Amino acid sequence: MRIGILGAGNMADALGTQWSRAGHEVMVSGRDQMRLAALADRMTAAAGGSPVLHGTWAEAAEFGDVVMAAVLAEGLTEVLTAAGPALRGKPLIDVTNQLPGFDVTRPISRLAADLTGAHVVKAFNLAHVDVWRMTPPVFDGRPLAVPLCGDDPDALSRVRTLVTDLGCTPVDGGGLDRAVLLEATAVFVIGLWFGGADAQAILTPREFAGG
């Protein structure tokens, strides 16, 4: 797959490097072309595959069969607008969390879908970037499960493949209307972790889930 990444930060680096290593063609994009060139070189060296490309927001949106938005929430509207009409009808992975300032009445994924006309899939927002650098992310012998929320079958199928390429297990999280629950879960769980709690321990094994 060709994967256009809107962003040149930690998430772009971690996930883009993994997908390049898995044999996908990757283009990162951002505001500073000098820093982008250095990032693309680093990612190419780390992945050891075909060169990671870099370009403008619009070039990455055009390039991708799948596009991933990996910028801070405060820049998302500006970036998606600059990415332009190429996003319409494309799979768009949204990894955004809003900490602080999350507003349950204004889901980020819905905003991204309304703004772009893309087939948005919310994913990868529940684990820290260091987890996305692991090869593979396996804990106590269990691969990390990655919930996906989206409406378009083709977009979901592509993102499932990208999850599997990381060595993770995709989990159907329902339609895009449920993406806000993933956004809220991230805010809640990160709050627990920062408070010193073991957030993983709040959920029981499935057999204790009331039948």
Ligand X SMILES: NC(=O)c1ccc[n+]([C@@H]2O[C@H](COP(=O)([O-])OP(=O)(O)OC[C@H]3O[C@@H](n4cnc5c(N)ncnc54)[C@H](OP(=O)(O)O)[C@@H]3O)[C@@H](O)[C@H]2O)c1
Nearest to 169 by CA among 179, 177, 159, 181: 159
To ligand X, the closest distance from the beta carbon of 69 in angstroms equals: 8
Residue 103 is a binding residue for ligand X (CB under 6 A): no
Residues 15-44 that bind ligand X (CB under 6 A): 30-32
Going by DSSP bridges, is the β-strand pair 2-6/25-29 parallel, antiparallel, or unpaired?
parallel
45: alpha, beta or left? (left if phi > 0; alpha if psi -120 to 50): alpha
Per the CB < 8 A criterion, the answer to whether 125 and 112 are in contact is no
**4-12, 85-93, 164-172, 173-181 -> range binding ligand X (CB under 6 A):** 4-12
Residue 79 is a binding residue for ligand X (CB under 6 A): yes
Residue 109 is a binding residue for ligand X (CB under 6 A): no
To ligand X, the closest distance from the beta carbon of 129 in angstroms equals: 4
Residues 114-133 that bind ligand X (CB under 6 A): 125, 128-129
Quick one: 99 or 154, whose CB is closer to ligand X?
Answer: 99
For ligand X, the nearest residue by Cβ is 9
- Give the number of other Cβ atoms within 10 Å of residue 138's Cβ: 12
Residue 51 is a binding residue for ligand X (CB under 6 A): no
Residue 113 is a binding residue for ligand X (CB under 6 A): no
141: alpha, beta or left? (left if phi > 0; alpha if psi -120 to 50): left
# chain residues binding ligand X, by CB under 6 A: 23
Beta bridge partners of 2: 25
